[in-house]
Amino acid sequence: MTLILSKHSKANPPGLVRLILKVITVCILAVPMPSLGAVERPNIMLLTEYSNTQEVNGWVMSEKLDGVRALWDGKQLISRNGLVFAVPEWFIAGFPPFALDGELWLARGQFEQTVSVVNQLTAHSGWQTLTYQVFEVPYQPGGLLARLAVVNDYLKTHSAPYLRVLAQAPILENSDVQRYLHTVLAQGGEGVVVRNPQHDYQVGRLASAQKVKLKQDAECVVQGVTAGKGKYTQQAGALLCALPTGQFAHLVGELRVLKIGSGLTDALRATPPPFGSCVTFQYMGLTQKGLPRFPVFLRVRNDGCGENSR
């Protein structure tokens, strides 16, 4: 493990050495605890970025929830990394015997709280604050609405208090998307997902399923920190993050390592995310070199990075 310093650093001052030791300690403490079990990493539907030039008349749209992705295989809830969630039996009571894809969700702006609930090794009462919001029914025939009708029909005769089917609103013209986006953002939401309802079930990153946000976001892996200056002396100035395979494929070499300082709280500068952590950052378009413009730290993720992020 190495700490990557700013190219302007001439030496490792005592304060920076203390920071190195703190980061190493955090890395040791952050080693994932053993899960209840693991299965093969599932193949799932992944979103692409929406373009204003994309014609989406006749598509459908729903709110993009800021929760934790989960696959129901008919018996258990599985993370997109293939880890089995420790779910109370009463939470999944009434769930169907067929596969579902959705989001474990608490409320808008409550991503960190949702993570704290689902990451426990044993089932607990905190799950009563969550719902499982379904936006896909894998392996069923027909288009999206026909697939969702399968679970809606099932719920007409079965009680599953913690299961919801995410509503899909029709798009009559492209301007509907921006109006809906602003409504969602005004209510504290994250964004919108638009999908072509005519397509059969598919996995991988799809042009027929796109996320719409005022700001774009992506993931990167923490490889080091730069030394802070001024009020941040002896703390981290910025994170040095490597872009994972599958994102910004046009960038090569050193251009695939970003420096992200904006958005870091004082607490994160004092104790940065462990090396190897996956973090989400926001940006506003690309520079002439193709780099993310104005990258801003958003949050630490623990449910996948890059190609496996929705």
71 token code pair: 């696959």
Higher pLDDT: 213 or 120? It is 120
Q: Give the pLDDT score at 10.
A: 43
For 174-195, write each residue's pLDDT tens digit. Answer: 999 999 999 998 898 889 999 9
Q: Give the pLDDT score at 86.
A: 96
Q: What would the DSSP string read from start to end of 36-104?
A: S-B-PPPP-EEEEE--TT---TT-EEEEE--SEEEEE-SS-EE-TTSBBP---HHHHTT--SS-EEEEE
| CA triple 247-262-302, angle to 5 deg | 50
pLDDT band at 290 (very low <50, low <70, confident <90, very high): confident
Among the listed residues 7, 10, 64, 156, the single catalytic one is: 64
For the beta carbon of residue 22, count every other beta carbon within 10 angstroms.
15
CATH code for 14-30+215-308? 2.40.50.140
Determine the Cα–Cα distance for residues 49 and 207; give it in Å rounded to an integer.
8
Q: Give the pLDDT score at 89.
A: 97
Strand ordering across the sheet containing 191-195: 45-49, 204-212, 191-195, 60-64, 169-170
Q: Is 215 a catalytic residue?
A: no
Higher pLDDT: 123 or 289? It is 123
The share of the chain scoring above pLDDT 70, in percent, equals 86
Long-range contacts of 247-255 (CB under 8 A, 24+ apart): 247/218, 247/219, 247/220, 247/306, 247/307, 248/218, 248/290, 248/292, 250/290, 251/290, 251/291, 255/289, 255/290, 255/291
53 token code pair: 């030039």
Q: Are 110 and 130 in contact (CB under 8 A)?
A: no
φ and ψ at residue 292, rounded to 5 degrees: -60, 130
Q: Is the pLDDT of residue 30 over 70?
A: no
User: With b meaning 16 or more CB within 10 Å and e meaning fewer, what string describes 254-279?
Assistant: eebbbbbbeebeeebbeebbbbebbb
With a CB cutoff of 8 Å and minimum separation 6, the contacts of 173 are 57
Q: Give the pLDDT score at 32.
A: 41
Determine the Cα–Cα distance for residues 140 and 153; give it in Å rounded to an integer.
13
How is domain 51-212 classified at the CATH fold level?
A: D-amino Acid Aminotransferase; Chain A, domain 1 (3.30.470)
Domain ranges of the chain: 14-30+215-308, 51-212
For 142-164, write each residue's pLDDT tens digit. Answer: 999 999 999 999 999 999 999 99
Query: What's the whole-number mean pLDDT along residues 189-206?
Result: 93
Q: What's the pTM value of the predicted model, to 2 decimals?
A: 0.67
Determine the Cα–Cα distance for residues 49 and 217; give it in Å rounded to an integer.
9
